Structure 1
């Protein structure tokens, strides 16, 4: 008689750390639902969730597009483009995100407004620095900072494709654009997606830095509420729980994506 091993139950296959996190979430949200004080804090802070997701989504989209352009420059055959792209990546990656945020908000933004006003002189139009919202200044700063890191992800993905395939495609008469679209991009995508998704999770955490500019995200609303009520312990418990909900949920999705890509590769 052939022995057929029994498939482990879902409970046995679920990591203990994941069960501990799920228990933490259940206890946290149960406490919020059953405690009037925590419920009030949650209602006061949860409005910043939309701002956090909006800032992160717009900044990450812009950073991805800019990072792709920089990566194409770094992998270009043109030495000038390679050197300029490398200079950009090394400089931006060497500046802390918070410092760059302040630089864009208080140095770069006034400079951009002045340049735009100079261009608008023939049309008798002008804008003021107050019209350049701090949320958009934060988005510009996060986009530029993360584009340097995302460019390296794209570069690694592009360079992971076998050069022989590209040379064979070129010898068959395919243009550079067709080689990229039909050969490089589909293969590089499997390498790029997991670290790109991890960078999105990191940006959600770094978006808390925009509170330094007064942008009404989760952190800023928590800071304002706690300073007015002196409930620092309770407030930052809720702030931490909201960020954990976002980051861990996305991290689990990234793990599922990696597993799916690994199965497709095998």
Structure 2
């Protein structure tokens, strides 16, 4: 796994009002458009950490995910922005943020229109159980169709345990009851089959590479003695949850039975 590129934001194009964290389309100094996620938005850097971990785990599992980059926002960037709400957001987001390559012309995935095979559906459900991703529902699928292919986006609401680190070791082994609302659950008929494959890919070395991408100054919980200790807590949570995957698989299978 390579390091993430860093780009400098040069132009704020337009806000994406459908996102609760006020993401925006922005242009960077490499000439590309990005969906920019701000550190100054509601959930702060924790949402950005969840985006890094979630998107890079998805990429490691061979799902299509837009390229993720660090996006630097200069302190002078928002001074000419007329919208006060956006101006404040830009001010509080000076420094390092994250951004995803903008998939121009992509359309929102609709399960009524598009089909997903059982293996793909099962693998996505498995991953979202691992990440405790609450945000892949029929109301908000966080999946796009681009060039006739399925792309996964928006993992900022995953790993919600880190909003309160209390008993994180116990939380790692809990089932994920909200999987009952997952948009792909009806087609996830191969959960037990994909489990072994997913676990082989997500080994300890890979998890360490992924958590190493988190900037140290984003790791500042008082519960931990250092940024590295908090980084290792993320790794520990993920590895424990992967090892105990039968717990969330059982919950997902039960939710499917109830649904069907």
Q: TM-score, normalised by structure 2?
A: 0.29
Larger Rg belongs to:
1
The structure richer in strand per residue is 2
Higher relative contact order (CA 8 A, sep 6+): 1
Q: TM-score, normalised by structure 1?
A: 0.29
The structure richer in helix per residue is 1
